[in-house]
Amino acid sequence: MQTSVVTGGAGFIGSHLCEYLLGKGERVIAVDNLGSGSENNLKGALKNDRFKFIRHDMREPLKIGESVDFVYNLASRASPVDFDQYPVEIMMTNSIGTYNAIDLALEHNARFLMASTSESYGDPEVSPQPETYWGRVNPVGPRSCYDESKRFSEALTMNFIWHHGLDGRIIRIFNTYGPRMRLDDGRVVPNFVTQALEGKPLTVYGDGSQTRSFCYVSDLVRGIYLMMQSPVKGEVVNLGNPNEMTVLDFARTIIQKTGSSSPIDYRPLPVNDPLQRRPDITKAKQLLGWEPEVSLDEGLKNTITWFSRNMSEIKEKLS
C-alpha cells in the first residue's frame, strides 16, 4: 500500500485530494495547522482506517514515523482576504514550509509535487498563459506575499530537482471552485454565491471586464493525481479550465443560477488585480492526457447547493 502525505490536507483542495487518494486505495496522512483549513472538511476521510490527520505547522520541520511514497505540498493560505492579515505567515509557509516538505520527501525518497498558482503569472501580458511565460508580478505590491512566495517555492523546488536529486514536479493551479470553499474566502465564487443567496448586491470590481476561468475541484484533483503518477520530473504544468468569461458575465450567471434578485454593486478595482486569467493547457493534454470534464452548469449546481446548506447551518448556530 502506497502512502501519501498531503500538507494543507484540511483545506478546500487538500481535503478533496485526500478523499481521492483514499479512493485509489492509498494510505493518506493529512498535515494542516488549521489556520485556514478545517477538520470539518475531513469528516468523511476520518472514518477511513487508512487515513491519519496530523495537526502541524509546516514552518516547523515534519517527521513521519513510517514510509512515505508521495508528498503533495498544498500548505498555504490562498485567500485574498488573508493577504492583509497574514502576509508574513504566507511567505514563510511558501518558503520555509516548502523547504520542510521537500526535506520530508528527500528523507523518504518520495516523489514530490509542489502546488503553485496562476498568480505566478501576475497581471499577464499574454493570454492564454503558457508555462513558458515568466509573468508580470509586482514584487512590492499588496499581493506579493502570495505571488512572490509561490514563485520562490517553484524556484526552490526546481533547484532541489537539479542539484539534490528530488523527484519533483510543479503544477500551477488556476481558479478552482466547489464545495468546502470558505464562506469568507474573498474570491469571486464564494463572494458571488453567498451574496446572491442572501439577496445582497454582488460586488464587481472595476467594470467587470476582467476575465477568469473556472475549474471544478474534482477535475483539478484528478489532474493533480495524474501529475504525481506520471514520470514528469522537473516539469511545470498548468491545471485549469481554459473556458474564459468576464467577471460581470459570471456575476449574471450566479444571479440566474440562484434565482436571486440581487443587483450588482461596482467597486474600484484592487491594486494589481489581474485583468486576465486563462490557462494554456496544451502541456497537460500532451503529458497527462488531462482536460476538464465538469461543465460550469454542473459544477455551479453542486457548489450553490453546498453553500446554501452550509450557510443555513452557520446561521442556525449563530441564532
Q: Which positions are catalytic?
A: 146
User: Cα(87)–Cα(69) distance, rounded to whole angstroms?
Assistant: 32
C-alpha distances in angstroms, 42 versus 30, 39, 66, 190? 9, 5, 21, 20
Query: How far apart are the C-alpha atoms of 234 and 169, rounded to whole Å?
Result: 5
> CA–CA separation, 204 vs 238, rounded Å?
27
End-to-end CA distance of the chain: 46
| Helix ranges, the chain (H) | 12-23, 80-85, 87-92, 98-107, 144-164, 188-197, 217-229, 247-258, 282-288, 296-318
The set of cell numbers assigned to 71 is: 508528498
Question: What does the alpha-carbon distance between residue 113 and residue 213 come to, in Å, rounded to a whole number?
Answer: 23
* Amino acid identity for residue 221 in this structure: V
DSSP per-residue codes, 92-128: HIIIIIHHHHHHHHHHTT-EEEEEEEGGGGBS-SSSS
CB atoms within 10 A of CB 314: 11
CB 75 within 8 Å of CB 97: yes
